[in-house]
């Protein structure tokens, strides 16, 4: 194997730009990295998921054409 061809992995802190949570990790980046959303503030992880759809396609069909 060739020597000195692999990147150096250093400790890095990823900071969430939404809630400010800092997550320590390892990366090839030398500075702080920014995240848009993390598991502390993402709705899918916190349980605050708001459904944009207010019914199913079957309900829309039955409303439009009625049940016969």
**Predicted local distance difference test score (pLDDT) of residue 54:** 64
Average pLDDT, the chain: 80
Contact 22, 4 (CB under 8 A): no
**Predicted local distance difference test score (pLDDT) of residue 29:** 78
23-55 pLDDT tens trace: 888 888 777 778 888 888 877 777 776 665 667
Instruction: Classify 57 as helix, strand or coil.
Output: helix
Contact 7, 29 (CB under 8 A): no
pLDDT more than 90, % of the chain: 0
pLDDT more than 70, % of the chain: 85
- The domains of the chain, with CATH numbers, are 10-65 (4.10.80)
């Amino acid at each position: 194997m060739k020597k000195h061809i692999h990147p150096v992995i250093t400790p890095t802190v990823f900071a969430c730009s939404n809630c400010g949570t800092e997550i320590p990790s390892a990366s090839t980046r030398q500075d702080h990295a920014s995240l848009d959303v993390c598991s502390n503030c993402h709705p899918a992880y916190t349980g605050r998921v708001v459904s944009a759809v207010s019914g199913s396609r079957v309900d829309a069909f039955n409303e439009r054409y009625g049940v016969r």
